[in-house]
Amino acid sequence: MIAVRRADSAKERRDFLAVGRELHEGDPIWTPPLYDDLARTLSPDNPLFQDGRAERELYVAYRGERAVGRVLGHVHHAHNQRHGERAGFFGLLECPDELEVARALVDAVAARHRARGLERLRGPYELTISQCIGAVVSGFDEPASTSQSWNAPHLPRLLAELGFAPVYGAKVFRLDDVAGCDEDALLGDKHRAWLADPRVRVRAWDMTRFDDDLHAAMDLLNQSFAENYGFVPLSEPEVEFFARPMKRLVRPELTVFLELDGEPVSVGMVLPDFNVLVRAMAGELWPFGWAKFLLGSRAVRAGVLQFIATSPALQNKGLMRIVLAELVRRLKAHGFTSLDVTWIGDANAKSQAHMRALGMREKHALTLYERPL
């Protein structure tokens, strides 16, 4: 007998965070979340849950007193407003390979969303379109890198059995051998012409002007992603909330801006793959602490391309290819051996073509699911 409860008490919230650990016990492919970080993201301190932008509920499934599953149910009002729909999301779904548990969790979210007049249930969505979306449906022998989704192989089957249908596809890619990628060969005549233009400057993140470069990168992201699937611009407080802890972890030499007449018009950002460390720490900063995490992150030789963006007015002129070639050169110079990228929609043929041009291979396919409420 499965009972689903809203995670209102401190114990239930602890169960929500910890239940994944029990379910994935002994699985070397699984990467635990950084528990403190996940708790912060889900807390009311997250500006996403302020000013009516979004709301959320956490649910835990119990068999007797034992937590056996969990799910997040959330509504992103800013999404519904922008995209003219009445969608409710689910995410962070963890359950054993038992339809009964999956059904009880999904039904709890569905009932909540239905009571609020929503019409479609979509997920996994963790937490916004700028983070992880979709369930992994292939590539289960390789772990997720930082900012990539992960779930047990049985999840897509359970969702299909619960009446969900695919609504959007995406992929994550990986370059196993950065040293084997010839950055010069990525550039043709049009790129070299840009590089010879005195108005063009290619540079790294300037940590002495951290805020200026953060806002330049976020402005480019908000402008260039405007037409992408499900996009909702990041608000200023959200950028602050997520970027502040990153200040210590970002590798400024691995974010490349291309400036035209002193204005950043193209950007690509690589972070170290923190998941390599998180797996070694089993998700707990204690007893390592941030200082050791920071030190450990300097030794990581795997990178993850977080996003690429070119100002809409200057797209298809070769600028991103220049940024990517410079990133490859820098990754080599700093001893990075592999490069992953976060999800890219199958509808985004241009971006996927860029990844393939780098020599990347498909690592995981992802599917976003939906069913009527």
Q: Under the rule (CB under 6 A), what is the footprint of ligand COA?
A: 224-225, 228, 266, 307-310, 315-321, 344, 348-351, 353
Do you know the residue count of the chain?
A: 373
Dihedral (CA of 309, 310, 313, 316) sign: negative
Are 27 and 96 in contact by the 8 Å Cβ rule? The answer is no
Paired tokens of 153: 């192989």
Of 3 and 353, nearer to ligand COA (C-beta) is: 353
Angle CA 190–193–196, to nearest 5: 155
The three-state secondary structure class of 178 is helix
Q: Are strands 120-123 and 87-94 parallel, antiparallel or unpaired?
A: parallel
As measured in angstroms, the least distance from the Cβ of 311 to ligand COA is 8
311: number of Cβ within 10 Å: 18
Least gap, CB of 167 to ligand COA (angstroms): 19
**Shortest approach of ligand COA to residue 355 CB, angstroms?**
9
Please, which residue, 4 or 320, has the CB nearer to ligand COA?
320
Q: Tell the smallest beta-carbon distance from residue 132 to ligand COA (Å).
A: 13
Vertex 242: Cα angle to 237 and 243 (nearest 5)? 95
For the CB of residue 19, give the shortest distance to ligand COA in the complex, in Å. Answer: 31
Is the peptide bond between 96 and the residue preceding it cis, with omega within 30 degrees of 0?
no
Identify which of residues 66 and 356 has a Cβ nearer to ligand COA in the complex.
356
For ligand COA, the closer CB: 16 or 307: 307
Token code pair at residue 238: 């959200």
Comparing CB distances to ligand COA, the nearer of 118 and 331 is 331
Q: Which residue has the tokens 């999404």?
A: 79
CA dihedral 282, 284, 288, 293 (to 10 degrees): 80
- Geometric angle at alpha carbon 333, from 212 and 185, rounded to 5°: 95
- Judged by beta carbon, residue 35 or residue 231, the one nearer ligand COA is 231
Which CB, 277 or 309, lies closer to ligand COA? 309
Q: How far is the CB of 350 from ligand COA (least distance, A)?
A: 4
Nearest approach in angstroms of CB 234 to ligand COA is 13
For residue 181, give both structure tokens.
């990628």
